[in-house]
Structure 1
Amino acid sequence: MTIAHDVAGDGYPVVLVHSTVCDRRMWDPQVPALSDAGHLVVRCDLRGYGETPAPDRPYDNARDVLDLLDLLAVEKVALVGSSGGGRVALELAARWPHRVRALALLCTALAGHEPSDELRSFGEREDALLEAGDIDRATDLNVTTWLGPYADDATRAKVRQMQRHAFEVQLAATEEQPPIRVDTDPARITATSLVVSGAHDMSDFRTIATYLAGTVPAARHVELDWAGHLPSLERPDVVNTLLTDFLSAPGE
Structure 2
Amino acid sequence: MSLPLLSHDSAGEGPALLLLHSAVCDRRMWDPQWRMFLDAGFRVLCCDFRGHGDTPAPDGPYRDATDVCDLLDALGVAETAVVASSSGGAVALELAARRPERVTALVLLNTGSPAHPPSAVLRGIASRERALIEAGDVAGAVELGVHTWLGPEADANTRAVVRLMRRRALDMRPAAEDAGRTGAAAFRPEDVKAPTLAVSGAHDLHDFRQVAAGLPDLLPAAEHVELPWAGHLPNLERPAETALLVLDFVERHTAGARGR
What is the TM-score when the length of structure 2 is the normalising length? 0.93
Query: For residues 206 and 230 of structure 1, what CA distance do their matches in structure 2 show?
Result: 12
- For residues 246 and 112 of structure 1, what CA distance do their matches in structure 2 show? 24
1:56 maps to 2:69: no
1:106 aligns with 2:109: yes
Q: Which runs of 5+ in 2 are unaligned?
A: 256-260
Alignment match of 1:7 (pick from 10, 17, 20) = 10
- In structure 1, how many angstroms separate the alpha carbons of the residues matched to 2:187 and 2:154? 34
- Counterpart CA distance in 2 for 1:178 and 1:5 is 19
Residues 13, 77 of structure 1: 8 Å contact kept: yes
Name the CA distance, whole Å, in 1 between partners of 2:108 and 2:85.
6
Cα drift, residue 34 of structure 1: 0.7
Contact 2:115–2:187 at 8 Å: present in 1 too?
Answer: no
- Is this contact kept in 2: 1:59–1:180, CA < 8 A? no
- Partner residue of 2:94 out of 91, 94, 101: 91
Q: 1:200 to 1:53 in 2, by over 3 A?
A: same
Q: Do the aligned residues in 1 keep the contact of 2:114 with 2:185 (CA within 8 Å)?
A: no
**CA offsets 1:73-107 (integer angstroms, 9 cap, x no match):** 11010011100111101100001001101011000
| In 2, Cα distance between equivalents of 1:6 and 1:111 | 26
Q: Contact between 1:8 and 1:31, CA under 8 Å: does it hold in 2?
A: no
4+ residue runs of structure 1 moved beyond 4 angstroms? none
Cα gap change, 1:30 to 1:133, in 2 (>3 Å)? same
Residue of structure 2 equivalent to 1:139: 142
CA distance in 2, matches of 1:66, 1:178: 16
Residue 239 of structure 1 is matched in structure 2 by: 242
TM-score by length of 1: 0.96
Residue type matched to 1:187 in 2? E
The correspondence for 1:197, drawn from 192, 195, 200, is 200
Root-mean-square deviation (Å): 1.5
Alignment of 1:99-178 (within 5 A): 99-171=102-174, 176-178=179-181
3-state SS of the aligned residue for 1:29? helix
- Once residues 79 and 129 of structure 2 are traced to their aligned partners in structure 1, the CA distance between those partners, rounded to angstroms, is 38
Q: Would the aligned equivalents of 1:5 and 1:42 in 2 still touch at CA under 8 Å? A: yes
Match of 1:74 among 77, 87, 93: 77
> Kindly, what percent of the aligned residue pairs are identical?
53
Structure 1: which 5+ residue stretches go unaligned?
A: none
Is the Cα–Cα contact under 8 Å of residues 146 and 230 in structure 1 kept in the other structure? yes
- Contact kept in structure 2, 1:58 and 1:180, CA below 8 Å: no
Give the AA of the match of 2:251.
Answer: S
Secondary structure of 2:123's match? helix
The one-letter amino acid of 1:196's match is V
2:133 is paired with a residue whose SS is helix
Amino acid at match of 1:40: R
